[in-house]
A and B are shown apart, each in its own frame.
Chain A
């Protein structure tokens, strides 16, 4: 009860702080360079920004999970910071992370150290997702920063997998849960100065154009949105395009192309995840 009251009075206590919040907020922002590829970093205005939510959308197999893996590996290896990865689709594959790390450094110890900095949570429905986020907010994040290597990134892959089944029909509970998840993610991003990266599916709007899933209310939540698409006509190509569809810092609809196979050594069978099954089934 006391915690709840102090939570509610949080903003008032903030206001009582003699240093004006304008100046105080200025000191707290910074960004993380993701070293994805030069192109993707340019798209994101040099990287992921802390205190903000960035969303990756795309149809299945467009590379969202691969991009998340790459960001996680880069941040844990090059920036030496802890990454929290919430996996709702069982897409997290440690072998793939290891493969990506092996292209960065041949040293086994460094690889293991980087892998240890990526902490994975598996949740499969929205209530456990909310519980996980609330637990992170109340004690998980502080503990991680005490134990060495501050936490600067939280990834949720994917938000739509747990939320889309709750929406629809006339019930309000689905929308309320959606906004609660949004609220938790925003509070974590803001209070702990963390960059939140999440993935979402796509649907088509009235004109046949792709748009992010989960509806109108969710579209207000992320600050930046990137749409990933496969380059046409080649089934087994690993080329993808990334389009910036929402940004408060740059002009929208910038398109960059990148190649998934640049993130690992194998150039021939470089597609992991969904497409590999198709390859194997071909004669």
Chain B
């Protein structure tokens, strides 16, 4: 009970901060964030990428490349414009603890090397470039759905004060499914409560600030009823999805997470 009061107080405090936005923040909010329409030409069609306030979900089995795709998306965002990037700041919420800095840096270095035409660069220079790119990335780790909720509430403040933040990535939003389901007991409402609040917060963030949200969900349940003859989504490049059965996340997560959101493009089933 005490804990809930504490949460309510935090809510109040952040609400007050939200209401007291200054002129600069108002302008930045109304102006909108940088467009991310050409964020990933390998996945989205030309100029068909996510617009402001869009939500994209990557869904798949383990080993299908969801986190790897996110690394490429992050790299494209944080690189400077002259290397082919978008110079947009990114917040990465990691609930899976799968974020591998070394892998991201190797992808980033590869792309930066492609972008710079002549072999300019001593090692120090390239290290400097990598560091300046990494300054646009913030990584947060969460290990429970309550922590995720509190973090998202705090992030609302960050989004309002930093107009260069255009992308929020949550990897993955389904990692607390079993723990929440057990803690909620018999009632579905209790089980979904935290995730529902997170979804409402995300909806508010994307409506008020026009950011793009990428989220991944794990395929954790086998769907025995699905048709084994379903063909693979054209353009999917994953070689590890050898089984032709489509695996779906349980409806609970889908309905709970995206209830409050109007736009739900399930663009890619890896």
Residue numbers of A with Cβ under 8 A of B are: 1, 4-5, 7-12, 14-15, 20-23, 25-26, 28-29, 49, 52, 172-173, 175-176, 178-180, 183, 186-187, 189-190, 206, 216-217, 219-220, 223, 246, 248-249, 252
Q: B101, A14: Cβ atoms under 8 Å?
A: no
Q: What distance in Å separates the Cβ of B183 from its nearest Cβ neighbour in chain A?
A: 7
Instruction: Contacts A14-B140, A20-B134, A186-B143 given; indicate if A26 touches B105 (C-beta within 8 A).
Output: yes
Q: How far is the CB of A277 from chain B (nearest CB, A)?
A: 36
Q: How far is the CA of A20 from the CA of B220 in the complex (A)?
A: 33
Report the minimum CB–CB distance from B133 to chain A (whole Å): 8
Kindly list chain B residues whose C-beta atoms are within 8 Å of the C-beta of A7. Answer: 147
Q: Which residues of chain A come closer than 8 Å to B133, judged between CB atoms?
A: 22
Beta-carbon contacts of B42-80 to A below 8 Å, as 1s and 0s? 000000000000000000011100011000000000000
B220 adjacent to A216 (CB under 8 Å): yes
| A residues less than 8 Å from B221 (CB atoms) | 216
Partner of B143, one of A1, A172, A187: A187
Shortest Cβ distance from residue A281 to the other chain B in the assembled complex, whole angstroms = 41
Most buried by B among A12, A175, A220: A220
Residues of B near A206 (CB, < 8 A) are 243
Shortest CB distance A153–B (Å): 17
User: Do A8 and B150 touch across chains, with their CB atoms under 8 A apart?
Assistant: yes
Partner of B222, one of A28, A52, A216, A220: A216
**Interface contact A223-B98, CB-CB below 8 Å:** yes
**Nearest B residue to A12 by beta-carbon distance?**
B154
B182, A220: Cβ atoms closer than 8 Å = no
Of residues 140 to 184 in B, which have CB atoms within 8 Å of A's CB atoms? 140-144, 146-147, 150-151, 154-155, 158, 175-176, 178-179, 181-183
Nearest chain B CB to A108 CB, angstrom units: 40
Looking at the assembled complex, report how far the CB atom of B180 sits from the nearest CB atom of chain A, in whole angstroms: 9
Beyond A22-B134, A28-B101, 13 extra complex contacts between A and B, CB < 8 Å: A15-B151, A15-B155, A21-B139, A21-B140, A22-B135, A23-B134, A25-B101, A26-B134, A175-B181, A206-B243, A216-B61, A216-B218, A252-B240
Q: Given that A22-B138, A216-B222 are contacting pairs, would A172 and B97 also be in contact in the complex, using a CB cutoff of 8 Å?
A: no
A172: shortest Cβ distance to chain B, in Å?
4
Q: Does B20 contact A (CB under 8 A)?
A: no
What is the distance, in angstroms, from A174's C-beta to the closest C-beta of chain B? 9
Contacts of A14 in B (CB 8 A): 140-141
B18 at the interface (CB under 8 A from A): no
Question: Considering the complex, which residues of chain B in the window 98-125 have a beta carbon less than 8 Å from any beta carbon of chain A?
Answer: 98-103, 105
In the complex, which residue of chain A has the Cβ closest to the Cβ of B180? Answer: A176
Check B220–A217 contact: CB distance below 8 A. yes
Residue with the greatest number of chain A CB neighbours at <10 A, chosen from B62, B151, B183 = B62
Q: Give B168 Cβ to nearest chain A Cβ, in Å.
A: 13
Residues of B within 8 A of A52 (CB): 100
Q: How large is the interface on B (under 10, 10 to 19, 20 to 34, 35 or more residues)?
A: 35 or more
Whole-angstrom distance from the CB of B96 to the nearest CB of chain A? Answer: 7
State A179–B144 Cα separation when bound (angstroms).
11
Chain A residue nearest in CB terms to B93: A11
B218 touching A217, Cβ below 8 Å = yes
Given A8-B147, A29-B101, residue A176 in contact with residue B179 (CB < 8 A): yes
Residues A179 and B137 in contact in the complex (CB < 8 Å), given A5-B6, A217-B218, A223-B98: no
User: Do residues A223 and B158 form an inter-chain contact, with CB atoms below 8 A?
Assistant: no
Do the beta carbons of B62 and A246 come within 8 Å of each other?
yes
Q: Indicate whether B227 reaches chain A with its CB closer than 8 angstroms.
A: no
Q: Which residue in A9, A49, A175, A190 is a CB contact (below 8 Å) of B150?
A: A9
Distance of A219 from chain B, by nearest CB (Å):
5
B136 interfacial contact with A, CB 8 Å: yes
Q: How near does chain B come to A163, taking the closest CB pair, in angstroms? A: 12
Whole-angstrom CA separation of A216 from B62 in the bound complex: 8
Chain A hits for B140, CB < 8 A = 11, 14-15, 21
Say whether B100 contacts A248, CB under 8 Å.
yes
Chain A residues, CB < 8 A from B183? 176
- Assembly CA distance A223 to B3 (angstroms): 35
Chain A contacts for B135, CB-based, 8 A: 20, 22-23
Residue of B nearest to A172 (CB): B182
Bound form: Cα–Cα A68–B243 in Å:
33
Bound Cα distance from A220 to B247, whole angstroms: 14
Q: In the complex, what residues of B have CB within 8 A of residue A217's CB?
A: 178, 218, 220
* Top 9 A-B pairs, shortest CB-CB distance: A22-B134, A176-B182, A22-B137, A186-B97, A175-B178, A172-B182, A11-B140, A25-B101, A219-B62
**A25 vs B131: C-alpha distance when bound (angstroms):** 11
The minimal Cβ–Cβ distance linking A87 to chain B, given in whole angstroms, is: 24
A-chain residues with CB within 8 Å of residue B96 when the two chains form the complex: 186, 220
| Identity of the chain B residue whose Cβ is nearest the Cβ of A25 in the assembled complex | B101
18 contacts between A and B (CB under 8 A): A10-B141, A11-B140, A15-B138, A15-B158, A20-B134, A20-B136, A22-B133, A22-B139, A23-B135, A26-B134, A29-B102, A175-B182, A183-B179, A186-B143, A216-B219, A216-B221, A219-B62, A252-B63
